[in-house]
Amino acid sequence: MKRLIYICLLSSLLPAVGCKKEWDIPGMGDPEYTNVYLVQASKIQSYQLEVTEAPDTILLSAGFGGVGTPDGNLEITLSAALHLVDSFNNARKTQYLPLPESAYTLEGKDNKLVIHTGKTTSAGSPLVIRAFGKLRMDKEYLLPVSIAAVNGGVKVNEPLRTAYLIIKPKPVLFNPTGWQMLSLTSEEPAEGNSSEPDNGKAIAMFDGKNQTFWHSQWNGGYAVPPHILAVDMKTSRTLSGISLVPRQGRVGAGGNFKGVKVEVSADGTTWTAVNNGAPFELPNTDDRKFLFFPEPVSCRYFRIVIAETQHIWGGVIFTHCAEMTGF
């Protein structure tokens, strides 16, 4: 420890008397004032990751705090600390799930960060997240990563030991251009016009336009539920859910889906129920809806069964939908 001695003369009051004050200041590399920390631990980090087959990479880095710089390489070993998820949730009244171990990898050599001699930060070490097929897209996850060890007896800054990484999977919608209807129970071509001849037909849900829509039959009589629409995606895909955009600018409150059952098929003949056959309940709003499957499934075909609509309007039952795709 070095000492700085400050001497002052109080000449105006005591011409013959001086004063002496002392402050302790740390010396270069003084262990009492030296520590390491995770840079990402400075605040809670939140990442919204698009769920595709390509993995995502988050870079983690360590910092050196103190006077001067390290006089030798500092090796900081990292480890996942999933046991901290419960205490994090309890303290903040959140409900994050622990990130599954199969969904991430600490890919730095031996899980180590290195702060080199004369430097104050390490290079970034990759944390690779593989969300595709691993994470449910209707859930949010937490991965605490902690400093497990440091060489050379250097202390860890305890409040900055652990980085809390919130992972929010984001669905990536399929492009439905070219998709076809395998079968359907009802549509209404009379909704079409010169500018939108396919309006009212089921294929209007694949045109990328929220102003067009499929409509159940009303011309010559009303088709009643259940309405069944089977879709051919033209190729086998890993399907994690269905996304729907309700008809926009509805007249009155009627028409939106209330509950939707989903089934999938590899051949268009044999069908398997999703969600144990239970319907996905939908709120009566005009925003985009996501029907998240409990598990991703491989299929070429899917079909929706609309057993009930939100309201009966004008004394008749009908339903409609602007856009439909998968993710």
CATH of the domain at 190: 2.60.120.260
Q: Which residue in 190, 187, 189 sits closest to 216, CA to CA?
A: 187
Task: Give the β-pairing of 35-38 and 155-156.
Answer: parallel
pLDDT of 61 higher than 50: yes
Domain with residue 139: its CATH number is 2.60.40.1740
Residue 7 — pLDDT band, cuts 50, 70, 90?
Answer: very low
118 CB-near residues (< 8 Å, 6+ apart): 69, 70
> Within this chain, do residues 79 and 143 fall inside the same structural domain, yes or no?
yes
Q: How much is the pTM?
A: 0.79
Letter string b/e over residues 169-196, b meaning 16 or more CB atoms within 10 A of that residue's CB: bebeeeebeebebbebbbbbeebbeeeb
The tokens for 58 are: 């988050």
- The model's pLDDT over 237-279, given as tens digits with 9 standing for 90+, comes to 999 999 999 999 876 667 899 999 999 999 999 999 999 999 9
The burial of 326, by beta-carbon neighbours within 10 Å (0-12 exposed, 13-18 middle, 19 or more buried), is given as buried
- Asked if the structure places residue 20 within a domain, the reply is no
Determine the structural domain holding residue 128 and report its residue range: 31-170
pLDDT tens-digit readout, 12-49:
333 444 455 454 555 545 566 789 999 999 999 999 99
Select from 117, 150, 170 the last residue of a domain: 170
117 and 244 assigned to the same domain = no
Alpha-carbon separation of residue 272 from 89, 138, 268, 298 (angstroms):
36, 21, 11, 11
| DSSP 3-state of 256 | coil
Q: Is residue 9 part of a domain?
A: no
Domain shared by 120 and 143, yes or no: yes
For the chain, the average pLDDT equals 89
Q: Give the bridge partners for 270, in sequence order.
A: none
Instruction: Flag whether 23 is in a domain.
Output: no
Domain count, the chain: 2
Cα(163)–Cα(85) distance, rounded to whole angstroms? Answer: 12
Please indicate, yes or no, whether residues 160 and 190 belong to a single structural domain of this protein: no
Strand order in the sheet with 62-65: 62-65, 35-38, 155-156
* Domain co-membership, 246 together with 273: yes
224 and 148: one domain? no
Instruction: Say whether pLDDT at 119 is over 60.
Output: yes
> pLDDT tens digits, residue range 164-178?
999 999 999 999 999
